[in-house]
Structure 1
Amino acid sequence: MPQKPLKFQEITAEIIYYFLIFFLCYTASNKLIKLDSFKTNLIKTTLFSPDQADLFSVLIILLEVVLIVVLIFIKNIGLLFCCLTMLIFTLYISFLRYKGLYEVCGCGGILNGLEYVYHFIINISLIAGSLFSFLTFYSINDEK
């Protein structure tokens, strides 16, 4: 049986949870506003044709919007979904780096142009934060 989290741990998990929602809203809206730039970044990787970039750019934005909705309405599942999504994004950028195709981050906004190492650190932090929040909220719900 998990131990009941400390109040500080609960507050930290809540802050991370709201940050994840904000972060995803920010990146999804930025990708949508600058859709052509996002498509161009996908094409630059040479993994996507222009038609595939059209499809994937919309699918990625939809995935982020669905993730935001799930986070808001089903917190624990949303946190796991967030963790999995960030893991996939991290594997994607790592694959690009491994193949020598990673130039700079194309996520948009303040992240646009980010070097790989910083992008990787941010993604790992988001994965760790979503897991931390999930485990904290899970142990709180398990106590009830």
Structure 2
Amino acid sequence: MRHRTSGATTVEFALGLLIFLMLLLGILDFSRMLFTWSMASEATRAGARYAVVCDDTGQQALVLARMQALLPQITTVSVAWTPAGCTAATCEGVTVGITGLNYQWISPIVGAAAPLIPMPSFSTFLPREVMRKDPHSPTICS
């Protein structure tokens, strides 16, 4: 006598698909987090380069705008000229940093109340020797 097994195949497929989708979404979320990490690091580098090349002492909003072009999630940046209170002629360099950047998971398993994952702070220092000198891009300051 033959037993009916068509329903069992459907249940097995559904369970296998669920596990596969969980794994796939986990990999996608982790990849997005690594991309955000990499872009935050690159944004601090680009912000420091813009600040030091364009000689924008005190123009933190312009540096933030340059960095947000790479990573829109950035809301605040710190721009610290060395030594503090220097002018364009006396500055030794600039440190640009990001703090308070959070990563939002998109996996539906966590649901709508997905926790924000705090990312570490990122910072880049560039010396004054490259101020107003950029042989690769004369239009960076425009």
TM-score category (smaller protein) = 0.3 to 0.5
TM-score by length of 2: 0.33
Report 1 or 2 for greater relative contact order, CA contacts < 8 Å, sequence distance ≥ 6. 1
More helix by share: 1
Larger Rg: 2
Structure whose residues are more often strand by fraction: 2
TM-score of the superposed pair, with normalisation by structure 1: 0.32
